[in-house]
Homo-oligomer: A and B are copies of this chain.
Amino acid sequence: MKKFINDPDNVVREALAGMAAAHPELRVDLDEQIIVRADAPRPGKVGIVSGGGSGHEPLHGGFVGPGMLDAACPGEIFTSPVPDQILAATRAVDGGAGVVHIVKNYTGDVMNFELAAEDAETEVESVLVDDDVAVDGSTWTAGRRGTGATLLVEKIAGALAEEGAPLAAVAAVARDVNARSASFAIALTAGTTPAAGKPGFDLPEDEIEVGVGIHGEPGRAREKLRPARELAARIVEPVLAAKPLEPGSEVIVLVNGLGGTPLLELYVMFDEISRLLAAAGVRIARSLVGNYVTSLDMAGMSLTVCRVDDELLRLWDAPVRTAGLRWGA
C-alpha cells in the first residue's frame, strides 16, 4: 500500500486536522470529530447535518458551509459515524428551527442517525438518500444505496434552508430531490483502505464491476472492459429504466469520478452520456463533472441524473461556499 499517511488508524483524525488548518472558515472539533460552519448555530435557521463513513471526500466535510451543510460528522473509513458524534453535530447547528439529517441508506448510518435523533433536544427530520438503482439490497444495505444524489440533496436543501424555509419544507425538498434522482456506477479498479492495505477486491485487467457501490461492494455484474461509448450506454440504460424521463424533461447531470479516474476520462464519458440523453429527448439543464462522491482511490465513475423544475434549478444555482463546491459566493 502506497499512501500519504502516518498511521492507518489515525488517517481520519489527521485529515480533519488538515481541514482545520486549510479552512479557517470552518470549526473542526477533533474530539467530537465534527466539521461545523463557523457561524452555526444561526438563530431561526433550519440546521442541516450529514455524515457517513470517511473515504468519500469531498463528501461530506467538503460540503459544509453557507448554502449547503451546517455540519458533517465523518466516521472512520467506510464506517458509520457514532450516535454521539451525530448528536454533537446536531446540537452544534440547532438554531431553534429544527435540524434535517441527510442520511445515505446504509444499515449502520440509518441506525446511528436514528439513535442520535431520539436523543436530540430539537425536532429532527431524517431524509434517506437511496438513489443507486444498481441493486435493491447489498452487503451494506436494505434497499437501494445512497450515492451521488447525496450531493444534489445537500446542495438544494441547503439552499432552501439558507433562505429561512421551515423544517418541513427543507425536509420535503430534500426527499423530492432524492425521489427524482437515479445513479449507477462502474468500477475499473478497487480502492484501497489504509486499514486493509490492499485493494478491496481483485479485478482482472480486462474486467469491470458494473453497478458497484462506493465501498467497493459488488454491483450487478462483472463484465468485460469495453469502449467508453458502450460503457456510457451500460450506465444510462438502467438510470433511465429506473426513473423514466419524458422527452423534454430537464435534468441535472453529475458525472462523478470515484477518486482515481482522471478528469480527461470523465469528460470523454460526459460526451457520450450527453449524446445518449439528447437522443432520449432529455435536456441537460446543469451539469457537474469531477470527483465529488468518491471511494478512496477507486478508478471508476458514477452517473446521477435528477429531473428538475424551475424551482429546483433556482435552488441549485443559489450561492454556495464550501471547500468542495463553490459558486456565487
Q: Show the binding face of A for B, using Cβ within 8 Å.
A: 2-7, 11-12, 14-19, 21-22, 54-55, 57-58, 62, 77, 188-189, 191, 205, 208, 225, 227-229, 231, 255, 259-272, 274, 284, 287, 289, 291, 294, 296-297, 299, 301, 321, 323, 326-329
Say whether, besides A2-B299, A15-B271, A326-B326, A264 and B57 are in contact (CB < 8 Å): yes
Closest partner residue, chain B, to A327 (CB atom): B326
Please measure, in the bound complex, the distance between the C-alpha atom of A297 and the C-alpha atom of B259, giving whole angstroms: 10
Which residue, A188, A225, A228, A321, has most C-beta atoms of chain B within 10 A? Answer: A228
Number of copies: 2
* A12, A263, A264, A271, most chain B CB atoms within 10 A: A264
On chain B, the residues within 8 Å of A5 by CB distance are: 227-228, 265, 268
Known A4-B301, A327-B329; judge A268-B228 contact (CB<8 A).
no
The 8 A-B pairs with the shortest beta carbon distances in the complex, nearest first, are A18-B267, A18-B271, A57-B263, A4-B265, A2-B188, A18-B270, A15-B267, A21-B274
When A17-B271, A289-B18 are in contact, do A54 and B264 touch as well, CB less than 8 Å? Answer: yes
Q: Is the CB of B228 within 8 A of A4?
A: yes
> In the complex, what distance in Å separates the CA atom of A266 from the CA atom of B14?
10
A2 to chain B, nearest CB (A): 4
Q: A21 contacts which chain B residues (CB < 8 A)? A: 270-271, 274, 284, 287
CB-defined A-B contacts under 8 Å, sample of 15:
A2-B188, A2-B189, A2-B299, A4-B269, A5-B268, A6-B268, A11-B268, A15-B264, A15-B267, A18-B266, A21-B271, A57-B262, A262-B296, A264-B296, A297-B299
